[in-house]
Amino acid sequence: MNPLQSTVRWLATHTLFPSSRLDARAEAMVCIAAIVASEDAAALANTRHLIKSRDGAKDAALRAYNYRRSMVHYVCDNAAKV
């Protein structure tokens, strides 16, 4: 649910909004809190996709590839030339 919608629902439940209203400063504070909550929710939604899941098959293939490359260096040791 949208934070602004939940704020209006809270106002309707607890203050009988719109038939009776809070003080203007109190309403402004509640509305500003709803705006900040919606901005936080939008920022959280944007950062959620930055976390990438791990691909086990790709990781295993890279480990095997690196292992094979390291074995090549041991087999092709040319330091003992005569």
| CA-wise closest residue to 54 among 43, 63, 67 | 63
79 or 3: which leads in pLDDT: 3
Write the pLDDT tens digit of every residue in 29-72: 888 888 888 888 777 776 655 566 788 899 999 999 998 888 77
b/e burial code for range 35-52 (CB count within 10 A of at least 16 → b): eeebeeeeeeeeeeeeee
- Break the chain into its structural domains and give their ranges: 3-75
Per-residue pLDDT at 62: 92
Give 2-21 pLDDT, tens digit per residue.
Answer: 777 888 888 888 888 888 88
4 and 37 Cβ atoms separated by less than 8 Å: no
Compute the chain's Rg from CA coordinates.
Answer: 30
pLDDT at 50: 57
